[in-house]
Amino acid sequence: MPQNILTVSELKKHFGGVRALDGVSFSLTRGETHALVGENGAGKSTLIKTLSGAFPFDSGDIVLDDAPYRPDSPHEAKARGLQVVHQEFNLLNHLSVAENISIEAMPRTRFGILDRAEMNRRARAALDAIGLGDIDVRATVQSLGIAHRQLVEIARALQSDSSILILDEPTATLTERETKRLFDIVADIKSRGVTVVFVTHHLNEVFAICDRVTIFRNGKTIATEVIAETTPAAVVRHMVGRELATERNTYQNRDISGKCALSTHNLKVASNPHPEGLDIAVHYGEIVGIAGLVGAGRTEFLRGIFAADPIVSGHLARNGTPMVFRSPRDAISAGIAFVTEDRKEEGLILDMPISANVSLANMASVSGHGLMRFGLERQRAEDHRAKLQIKCGSVSDAASSMSGGNQQKVVLAKWLARTPEVLILDEPTRGVDVGAKAEIYGILRKLAQEGAGLLIVSSELPELMTLCDRILVMANHRIVGSVSRDDFTEEHILKLAYGQNGTEEGTIA
Amino acid sequence: MKFYNIVASAATALSLLAAPAIAEDKPVVGLVMKSLANEFFQNMLEGAEAHAAERGDYELRAVGMQNETDFESQINAVENFITQGVDAIVIAPADSKAMVRPIKKAIAAGITVVNFDVSLDADAKKEQGLELAFVGPDNRGGAKMAGDALAQALGEGAKVVIIEGNPGADNATQRRLGFEDSVAEYKLDLLDSRTAHWETEEANQVFSTMLTAHPDLQGVMAANDSMAIGVVKALENAGRDDILVVGFDNVPAVGPMIEDGRMLATVDQFGQKMAADAIDLALEVVAGGPELEGWVKTNIELVTKK
Amino acid sequence: MTTETRMLSAPSRRAVSVRAIINNAGIGLALLALILFFSLASEFFLTANNITNILTQITINLILAVGMTFVILIGGIDLSVGSVMAFAAVVAGKAITLPGLGVVELIALACVAGLLTGLISGLLNGVISAYWGLPSFIITLGMLNIARGAALHVSDAQTIYSFPFAFEEFGSALIYGVPVVFLVALLITLLAWFVLNWTVFGRLLYGIGNNEEAVRLAGHHVFWLKVAAFTICGFTAGIAAIIYMARLSISSPIAGIGFELNAIAAVIIGGTSLAGGRGSVIGTLLGAFIIGVLANGLILIGLNDFMRQMITGVVIIVAVILDHYRAKYSAT
């Protein structure tokens, strides 16, 4: 029986009436890689913040290294050997990598001034320790890619002798290759006896690198399983508390011979290097997906259609009638809605009530003569809350109080309030947990059944394959292939995306 | 065509640069003013310009400033005038200490300098070994004239307040001292003394509050007329016509107030003529007259109801 | 339909006001504490005359600060209001002293001229900063100089005076000891409160302050909304100019120097966030009262000018620190 380094029993934490942690128990053994999974809002973030000393817990016990543990500050947590790499980076973008790594204890010369050489030496050692020989310690953090920033954070966390390293959704912004590298580093850390706690939404990652997994639901720990003895389906069952139907099989083929809802002809955005632009067509009742690698120009194309960014040349037609959109307002009046990639920056007004967010794109429906009708607004929000199963305390709570999945549902509600004929979605389930994901798929499918045309960009192929009638594959700002439902295989689509299609598949819809 | 333009503009620029050096017989006078946002100096400048047009035997180059305390642009102006080789510089210093050094430089360059409006600081002059006459009004004496008029109207022991100008400004200090001279001489009871930064609105607010604190006050000495106007409006609002007000500067807006008795008196230092008079004195020296010495006091006059 | 709406409105209306009360409670308590302190320290403070004085004294700052609240709510700033007020006053002063017109025509003309001057200055601030996406700090700093220069130019740096008697009457009129000019300021404050809390326009201004891009992508004319906020601010500077003239019976081109900073201080003390998106005009009203009460009370207790200035500075800093904590608590 391996020795427990950390034991948490019956931990509780309430915020007002909200039970963020409602009986959390689990343990970590020395040197293991332990995954924490659960839907957003299940209590993982609160647990991490409690462990790292960001806020105190109400009741329960934590034992760390055979001694009681109740940290008052992040500083104390670090002193006890517990380090957290947060989802939001805590790096100072304008400072160098070395300065960031040494920020907590800047080395000084005996004259009390900053010892730059020593600082760079320490940073070099910290980076080399996790195999990051290719990062220049004098480069500013902002000159690094997202993945490297993540790794610098890990290097910083590891330079002090930590016994427990908590990684909070480290792969959310990483590409597959970068994720691979992170896993190598985690394996290396583990081999040095460090316990790694891995918080993620991606079960394949859990099964790739973890030894055990603890599942959270509604502020409670439901189960801890040994990875070798369980299956992803079993873990999901614990997470959502029910069996998720395998989506693809229940998919019904619909009649999508409707009219063309939206089409583009030679539509070119500023970042597109090809003068001929892009041609696509979306029919009523059809769900069209766009697959492709990051940087293929998918987001830019969607923003061009919606006039969120100006288009350089080309045409766009609704119901076959050519249209010119000068601003998103024009696109919206033409019955188009756009769920953006980044809901925090572009989709929601986080500090404003949920009801205000729901009505944002359709103020006319909750006002008369320019005056707000708060009762009506509230009622509309309640309707959407019920229809989309949005989980929140009250529709007058701030949007920021909800989990990612529910936030995304509010974004959808905002657009559904307009009953759009064409719905464009960019990464509709990014940062959304498994349960909410399934619910969102249901909503989108229902929309298509009701006759709307949907255009979806996603980096998750299974998502597109689940939802779409047709998938367009983009590479380097060109559509390199169109795959219909019967031909959906990951291999086929990825080959197109990587430009390895030997056949003449490049027909364009 | 383009080339011609370049040549032409270069030639113009050269001739502009050269102009002071080869100016015809007419002497050139550089006039350095304070803030032209202040109507007192604006009027003074207009007076000087009219004077130059009338005399016609000298060339006037005038420079103003952004605001009351912007002495850097005054230093720049003096240095530019030295470079241009003007015959005389007539200056109203924005800072009585900071301007000593550049003026000394101008004198060393053989330029006749006349200091008017505000005197350069005596100690600073001594330290720099500079001897320079001052042409200007006696702010302290003028303030005392106004103060005395108030005291005589109210009688000994009357309760008064002072509304001061900008703290640190030389004329504000001199006027306050002049008012205080009157207070001492007539044994007045000085209840309060506060700044309103030369400003009507602020004087209105500050004074109405002072009036609340001292409802029995009888007289107000304001260091300029803008502030006196604010005081008069505060008295009107409070429905008090038993309190006497004196000001300083004799701006046009107070004319009607003195006529209908809302103000007792103000002091005219003939600002419009002051710069012109200083220029006359400077031209006399340039023409070979004797150097000025000491304090050449300009005319001041108490203005009361006719 | 209407009755249903009204019934449903009731709880959320209450929710709005309850939240406003909680948010403003701290600043209201601070104001009460100041009033209590000065009442004990000076026998004159709570007299009818002094209250009339205070109300008169905060009028102009309150009007400017209400306009400023709109701009700060969308994450901007307007440094030009003091100069614009002077410019508007000079233009209105020129109009009101035109020869050969009846009193009513003159006053009407002056009001229109002054208000238009303010409105156009604000419109320019808004159009320029919103069109090119430039920081309003810089654009309005430019406007500060333009308007001041224009005021001096138009007036030839001379104070304009001798206004119609009826106009001056308005400036000093009282209703039950309350200055009419203050009632005007209060009316403007209530109107602004209504606009910000009860109209779609107000809602979108808060939205822009929080997340401009989300508002734009939801199909709203962010450009015109921002321009409107700046235009309102300029317009209030025009109103302040008319009030200034009525109160003091002069138009001075050097009026209002530094007034923008007092207005910003009132807004910030009132709890509106400089980052935009959070705050209220009710807070601004209380902030203007705090500044006014402080200026008045400190003179009454005989504190000298320099100490007075220092204490005002301390109060601004303390207010921002308190606001920092308030924001923190309301966030958790």
**A345 in C contact zone (CB under 8 Å):** yes
Residue A140, strand partner residues: A96
Do A328 and C219 count as a contact with CB atoms less than 8 A apart? yes
Q: SS3 for A286-312, per residue?
A: CEEEEEECCCCCHHHHHHHHCCCCCEE
Whether pTM > 0.90 for this model: the answer is no
All residues of chain B having their beta carbon less than 8 Å from the beta carbon of residue C244 are: 201
Please tell me the distance from the alpha carbon of residue C141 to that of residue A225, in angstroms, as a whole number.
64
Residue C62, pLDDT above cutoff 90? yes
**A373 in C contact zone (CB under 8 Å):** yes
- B vs C, Cβ pairs < 8 A, gives 91
Give the residue on B whose Cα is nearest the Cα of C173: B237
pLDDT attached to residue C9: 32
Please tell me the distance from the alpha carbon of residue B273 to that of residue B30, in angstroms, as a whole number.
16
Residue C190, pLDDT above cutoff 80? yes
Asked whether this chain's domains B4-136+271-298 and B139-268 adopt the same fold, the reply is yes
pLDDT attached to residue B78: 92
CA distance C213 to chain A (A): 5
At A222, give phi and psi (nearest 5°). -90, -40
- Taking only residues 237 to 266 of chain A, the set having a beta carbon closer than 8 angstroms to any beta carbon of chain C reads none
CA distance A298 to chain C (A): 18
- A vs C, Cβ pairs < 8 A, gives 95
pLDDT attached to residue C2: 37
Neighbours of chain C (3+ CB pairs under 8 A): A, B
Average of per-residue pLDDT across C162-179? 89
Please tell me the distance from the alpha carbon of residue A425 to that of residue A458, in angstroms, as a whole number.
8
Please tell me the distance from the alpha carbon of residue C86 to that of residue C116, in angstroms, as a whole number.
13
Give the residue on B whose Cα is nearest the Cα of C48: B212
Give the residue on C whose Cα is nearest the Cα of B42: C157
Give the residue from A4, A69, A12 showing the smallest Cα distance to A43: A12
Of A308, A350, A376, the CB nearest to C217: A308
Give the residue on A whose Cα is nearest the Cα of C1: A376
Please tell me the distance from the alpha carbon of residue A429 to that of residue A434, in angstroms, as a whole number.
9
Asked whether at least 3 C-beta pairs link C and A within 8 Å, the reply is yes
Structural domains in chain A plus CATH codes: 1-81+162-241 (3.40.50.300), 90-160 (no CATH), 252-335+420-508 (3.40.50.300), 350-418 (no CATH)
pLDDT attached to residue A421: 94
Put residue A277 in one of left, alpha, beta given phi > 0 → left and psi -120 to 50 → alpha. Answer: left
Over residues B249-288, the pLDDT tens digits come to: 998 899 999 999 999 999 998 888 889 999 999 999 999 8
Q: Are C313 and C112 in contact (CB under 8 A)?
A: no
pLDDT attached to residue A505: 38
CA distance A375 to chain C (A): 4
CA distance C61 to chain A (A): 28
All residues of chain C having their beta carbon less than 8 Å from the beta carbon of residue A372 are: 197-200, 202-203
Neighbours of C270 (CB within 10 A): 28
Mean pLDDT of chain C: 89
Over residues B204-228, the pLDDT tens digits come to: 999 999 999 999 999 999 999 999 9
**C223 in A contact zone (CB under 8 Å):** no
- Give the angle subtended at the CA of A370 by the CAs of C222 and C198, to the nearest 5°: 95
Over residues B59-89, the pLDDT tens digits come to: 999 988 877 667 888 888 899 999 889 999 9
Burial-class residue A492 by CB neighbours within 10 Å (0-12, 13-18, 19+). middle
Give the residue from A492, A489, A490 showing the smallest Cα distance to A480: A492
Mean pLDDT of chain B: 88
Of C197, C201, C217, the CB nearest to A340: C217
**C165 in B contact zone (CB under 8 Å):** no
Give the residue on C whose Cα is nearest the Cα of B196: C305
**A397 in C contact zone (CB under 8 Å):** no
**A66 in C contact zone (CB under 8 Å):** no
Do C247 and B199 count as a contact with CB atoms less than 8 A apart? no
All residues of chain C having their beta carbon less than 8 Å from the beta carbon of residue B256 are: 161-162
CA distance C141 to chain B (A): 15
Please tell me the distance from the alpha carbon of residue C98 to that of residue A363, in angstroms, as a whole number.
47
CA distance B294 to chain C (A): 33
pLDDT attached to residue A173: 66
**C215 in A contact zone (CB under 8 Å):** yes
Please tell me the distance from the alpha carbon of residue C246 to that of residue A393, in angstroms, as a whole number.
53
- What is the domain class of B4-136+271-298 according to CATH? alpha beta
Position of tokens 């104390």?
A76
Neighbours of C169 (CB within 10 A): 11
**A396 in C contact zone (CB under 8 Å):** yes
Tokens representing A200? 């993620």
- Give the angle subtended at the CA of A351 by the CAs of A345 and A354, to the nearest 5°: 95
* Inter-axis angle of helices C259-269 and C81-96, nearest 10: 130
Of C50, C253, C300, the CB nearest to B37: C253
Give the residue from A92, A89, A84 showing the smallest Cα distance to A141: A92
Q: How far is CA A248 from CA A445, A462, C89, in A?
A: 12, 9, 73
Q: Are C55 and C182 in contact (CB under 8 A)?
A: yes
- Residue C1 banded pLDDT, cuts 50, 70, 90: very low
Neighbours of chain A (3+ CB pairs under 8 A): C
Do B199 and C255 count as a contact with CB atoms less than 8 A apart? yes
| Per-residue pLDDT tens listing for chain A (509 residues) | 457 899 999 999 887 666 788 889 999 999 899 999 887 667 888 888 889 888 888 899 999 988 999 988 888 888 888 888 876 667 787 888 888 888 777 787 777 788 888 888 888 888 887 777 788 888 888 887 767 787 888 888 877 778 899 988 887 667 677 788 888 888 888 888 889 998 887 778 888 889 999 998 888 898 899 999 988 878 877 877 655 444 444 455 565 667 899 999 999 998 888 888 899 999 999 999 999 876 788 899 999 999 999 999 999 999 989 999 999 999 999 999 999 988 888 899 999 999 999 999 999 999 999 999 999 999 999 999 999 989 888 999 999 888 888 999 999 999 999 999 999 999 998 878 777 888 899 999 999 999 999 999 998 888 898 899 999 999 888 898 899 888 887 778 877 876 654 343 333 33
CA distance B157 to chain C (A): 21
List chain C domain ranges.
3-331
Over residues B105-152, the pLDDT tens digits come to: 999 999 999 999 888 888 888 888 888 889 988 999 999 999 999 999
Do A374 and C277 count as a contact with CB atoms less than 8 A apart? no
Of B43, B195, B213, the CB nearest to C305: B195
For chain A, the distance separating the N- and C-terminal CA atoms, rounded to the nearest angstrom, is: 60
CATH topology of domain B139-268: Rossmann fold (3.40.50)
CA distance A469 to chain C (A): 27
**C22 in A contact zone (CB under 8 Å):** no
**A375 in C contact zone (CB under 8 Å):** yes
Provide, rounded to the nearest whole percent, the portion of chain B with pLDDT above 90: 57
Do B213 and C56 count as a contact with CB atoms less than 8 A apart? no
pLDDT attached to residue C19: 52
Eight-state DSSP code of residue B254: G
Do B237 and C157 count as a contact with CB atoms less than 8 A apart? no
Give the residue on A whose Cα is nearest the Cα of C15: A396
Asked whether at least 3 C-beta pairs link A and B within 8 Å, the reply is no
Of C156, C159, C299, the CB nearest to B209: C299
Give the residue on C whose Cα is nearest the Cα of B229: C248
Do C200 and A414 count as a contact with CB atoms less than 8 A apart? no
Chain C interface test: which of B237, B250, B257 (most C C-beta within 10 Å): B237
CA distance C218 to chain A (A): 5
CA distance C303 to chain B (A): 10
CA distance C228 to chain A (A): 15
Q: Which of A226-235, B216-225, C121-130, C151-160 has the lowest mean pLDDT?
A: A226-235
Helix, coil or strand: residue A140: strand
- What is the domain class of C3-331 according to CATH? mainly alpha
**C201 in A contact zone (CB under 8 Å):** yes
Please tell me the distance from the alpha carbon of residue B12 to that of residue C155, in angstroms, as a whole number.
34
- Taking only residues 2 to 61 of chain C, the set having a beta carbon closer than 8 angstroms to any beta carbon of chain B reads 42, 44, 47, 49-50, 53, 56-57, 60
Do A370 and C8 count as a contact with CB atoms less than 8 A apart? no
Helix, coil or strand: residue B233: helix
pLDDT attached to residue A2: 59
All residues of chain B having their beta carbon less than 8 Å from the beta carbon of residue C42 are: 213
